[in-house]
Amino acid sequence: MRSLSSVWSLLVSTDEKIRRQLGYWAVTAGMYLLCTGLLWLEVSFGDAPRSATLWLSIVMIGGLLPFFLLIRLSTRLALRPSQLALAQGILAIICTVADYALSGPARGATLSILLVVLVFCTFTLEAEKSHSLSVFAIGLLGLAMFALPHIDPARFSPRLEMIHFFIAAATLLVVSFLTGKLSQLRSHLKAQKAELADALARIRILATQDELTSLANRRHMSEVLADEERRLCASGQPTCLALLDIDWFKQINDKHGHDVGDAVLRMFAWQAQAALRATDVLARWGGEEFLLLMRDTNIDAAAQVLNRVRDRIAIACAAELPHLKTVTFSAGLVAMLPGEGVAAGIRRADQALYRAKSDGRDRVMLAYS
């Protein structure tokens, strides 16, 4: 069963776009088979020539496999869907006009196939290419309808061909106009969809990221913590939380201005983030306060992480903001207790932070259990 599905995937690809094109190809193949069958029915009635019908059948049915392969390998061959659709459309028009030339008295019905071809191409072709294809169909049909009464006057009457031509040309032009409009609508919808996806991505960023530091914002961090609480209940893994607060930040603002204060916040966020592992989550919790979640981390390892952050900030501050004396932070660190809620953990971290501040700042204080 599994090998059957992998053979199917190999055949029709897993790429959604290629699968859609192969779907169109399958419908086209059905149409070709139907036309060929009907033409052979006419041969059996003595209304169509046998050898010419054989050649046309070979071209129609034989053309299916190369197109299947071209579509299937289009990514590797760097073929665009519009290129393939145009080539398929041209072949279909040529075959339909040949079908018309070979058919007996029922030939008028084959003209409706041209409409199907044009409508099909609308799904992939731009409006201008759809129009060009219609002009090609009208031109080729006109040429055939003009030549056929001269080649075989017994089967083709010039007057009837002229009427057929005007009806077919008018219908093709109207369909071309309508399909052109559809193509434009489709491009418009596609552009709108891309704009919406962009806007959605921007909204998602705005909703989850702090604008100044690009860290997770408080709202997003609250969601992360709610998930973490559920995970903790289930796994019981050691998890640490730390509240980090930049020391004397008001003085930095007052002495050097708000812009420098902002630059300190950005530098702090960038350096702290760079010192963390991919599984740690750092968020801007308030003005100059940050909350750090360290999953699967015991208290000793978490203290080391905070020391790493401290070292990076001291180095970066000396390099990037030499006019500031130094930027330090105080932190309250807590190891979550089994069954303890995140809110209670943050409260303990806050109390530890308060002690770190009152004990002189620039230090990490462990929370009481």
Ligand X SMILES: Nc1nc2c(ncn2[C@@H]2O[C@H](COP(=O)(O)OP(=O)(O)OP(=O)(O)O)[C@@H](O)[C@H]2O)c(=O)[nH]1
Q: Where does this chain bind ligand X (CB under 6 A)? A: 212, 245-251, 253, 258, 261-262, 265, 287-288, 357, 361
d(CA 20, CA 23): 5
We find the least distance from the C-beta atom of residue 254 to ligand X, in angstroms, to be 7
We find the least distance from the C-beta atom of residue 190 to ligand X, in angstroms, to be 40
We find the least distance from the C-beta atom of residue 277 to ligand X, in angstroms, to be 26
Q: Kindly state the DSSP code that residue 241 receives in the 8-state scheme.
A: E
d(CA 360, CA 43): 102
Strand pairing report for 364-366 and 289-294: unpaired
We find the least distance from the C-beta atom of residue 200 to ligand X, in angstroms, to be 27
Could you tell me where the beta strands, DSSP code E, fall in the chain? 240-246, 281-284, 289-294, 329-335, 364-366
Nearer to ligand X, 83 or 328 (CB): 328
Phi and psi (nearest 5°) for 241? -125, 145
Nearer to ligand X, 256 or 308 (CB): 256
Q: DSSP for 323-342, please give it.
A: TSS---EEEEEEEPPTT--H
Exposure string for 55-83, b = 16+ CB within 10 A, e = fewer: ebbeebeebbeebbebbbebeeeeeebeb
Three-state DSSP string of 272-292: HHHCCCCCCEEEECCCCEEEE
Residues contacting residue 339 through CB under 8 Å, at least 6 positions apart: 233
We find the least distance from the C-beta atom of residue 259 to ligand X, in angstroms, to be 7
126, 288, 289, 340: which is the annotated catalytic residue?
A: 288
Nearer to ligand X, 99 or 245 (CB): 245
We find the least distance from the C-beta atom of residue 213 to ligand X, in angstroms, to be 9
Nearer to ligand X, 145 or 215 (CB): 215
Residue 42 annotated among the catalytic residues of the structure: no
Neighbours of 326 (CB within 10 A): 11
d(CA 83, CA 26): 18
Q: Kindly state the DSSP code that residue 321 receives in the 8-state scheme.
A: -
How many CA atoms does the CB half-sphere of 295 hold within 13 Å? Answer: 15
Catalytic residue numbers, as ranges: 288
